[in-house]
Structure 1
Amino acid sequence: MTSLRPVVLSGPSGAGKSTLLKMLMENFPQSFAFSVSHTSRKPRPGEVHGREYNFVSEEEMLKDIADGKFLEYSQFAGNYYGTPREAVTSPCTRSSFDHTLPCYFAKPTQQWLRFPISGVRPNFCSLFSSWNTQYHVLESGRICILDVDANGVRSIYEARPPLNARFIFVGPPSIEVLECRLRNRGTETEEKTLSRLQQAKVDMEFANSPHGKRIYDAYIVNDNIEEAYDKLFDFLKDDIALTLDDERQQVAAS
Structure 2
Amino acid sequence: MASPGPRPLVVCGPSGSGKSTLLNRLFKEYPHTFGFSISHTTRNPRAGEEHGVHYYFVTKNDMENAIARDEFIETAVFSGNTYGTSKAAIKCVQSAGKVCILDIEPQGVEQIKNTDLNPVLIFNNPPSVEELERRLRKRNTETEETLSKRLSAAEFEINYGLQPGNFHKIIHNINIDEAYEEFRHFIINELKAQEEIGIFIRWDASE
Structure 2 counterpart of 1:228, one-letter code: A
Distance (Å, rounded) in 2 between the aligned partners of 1:176 and 1:63 = 39
Do residues 219 (structure 1) and 170 (structure 2) align? yes
Using a 3 Å threshold, how does the CA distance of structure 1 residues 240 and 158 change in structure 2: closer, same or farther?
closer
Whether the 8 Å CA contact 2:123–2:161 is kept in 1: the answer is: yes
Using a 3 Å threshold, how does the CA distance of structure 1 residues 228 and 176 change in structure 2: closer, same or farther?
same
* TM-score, normalising length: structure 2: 0.88
Distance (Å, rounded) in 2 between the aligned partners of 1:63 and 1:139 = 25
Do residues 85 (structure 1) and 87 (structure 2) align? yes
Distance (Å, rounded) in 1 between the aligned partners of 2:201 and 2:121 = 23
Q: CA deviation at 1:13?
A: 0.5
Which position in structure 2 is the counterpart of 1:95? none
1:181 aligned to which of 107, 119, 135: 135
Q: CA deviation at 1:215?
A: 2.7
2:186 aligned to which of 208, 220, 235: 235
Q: CA deviation at 1:138?
A: 2.4
Distance (Å, rounded) in 1 between the aligned partners of 2:141 and 2:201 = 42
Which position in structure 2 is the counterpart of 1:3? 5
SS of aligned partner of 1:193: helix
Whether the 8 Å CA contact 1:9–1:146 is kept in 2: the answer is: yes
Larger Rg: 1
Deviation per CA, 1:81-133: give whole Å up to 9, x if none: 00002222x4xxxxxxxxxxxxxxxxxxxxxxxxxxxxxxxxxxxxxxxxxxx
* TM-score, normalising length: structure 1: 0.72
Deviation per CA, 1:51-110: give whole Å up to 9, x if none: 11111111111111121111000110011100002222x4xxxxxxxxxxxxxxxxxxxx
Aligned-residue identity in percent: 42
Whether the 8 Å CA contact 1:157–1:215 is kept in 2: the answer is: no
RMSD of aligned Cα (Å): 1.8
| Number of positions where the alignment pairs a residue of Structure 1 with one of Structure 2 | 195
Whether the 8 Å CA contact 2:6–2:201 is kept in 1: the answer is: no
Give the unaligned 5+ runs of structure 1. 91-135, 249-254
Q: CA deviation at 1:20?
A: 1.1
Distance (Å, rounded) in 2 between the aligned partners of 1:173 and 1:33 = 27
Distance (Å, rounded) in 2 between the aligned partners of 1:84 and 1:175 = 30
Deviation per CA, 1:19-43: give whole Å up to 9, x if none: 1111111110111011000000001
Whether the 8 Å CA contact 2:191–2:201 is kept in 1: the answer is: no
Distance (Å, rounded) in 2 between the aligned partners of 1:230 and 1:138 = 25
Q: CA deviation at 1:17?
A: 0.9
Do residues 145 (structure 1) and 101 (structure 2) align? yes
Using a 3 Å threshold, how does the CA distance of structure 1 residues 157 and 246 change in structure 2: closer, same or farther?
closer
Whether the 8 Å CA contact 1:31–1:240 is kept in 2: the answer is: no
Distance (Å, rounded) in 1 between the aligned partners of 2:131 and 2:65 = 38
SS of aligned partner of 1:223: coil
Structure 2 counterpart of 1:187, one-letter code: T
Distance (Å, rounded) in 1 between the aligned partners of 2:179 and 2:201 = 27
Do residues 194 (structure 1) and 148 (structure 2) align? yes
Distance (Å, rounded) in 2 between the aligned partners of 1:199 and 1:55 = 22
Structure 2 counterpart of 1:49, one-letter code: H
Consecutive aligned runs of 4 or more in structure 1 exceeding 2 Å deviation: 136-141, 238-242, 245-248
Distance (Å, rounded) in 1 between the aligned partners of 2:202 and 2:40 = 30
Whether the 8 Å CA contact 2:9–2:101 is kept in 1: the answer is: yes
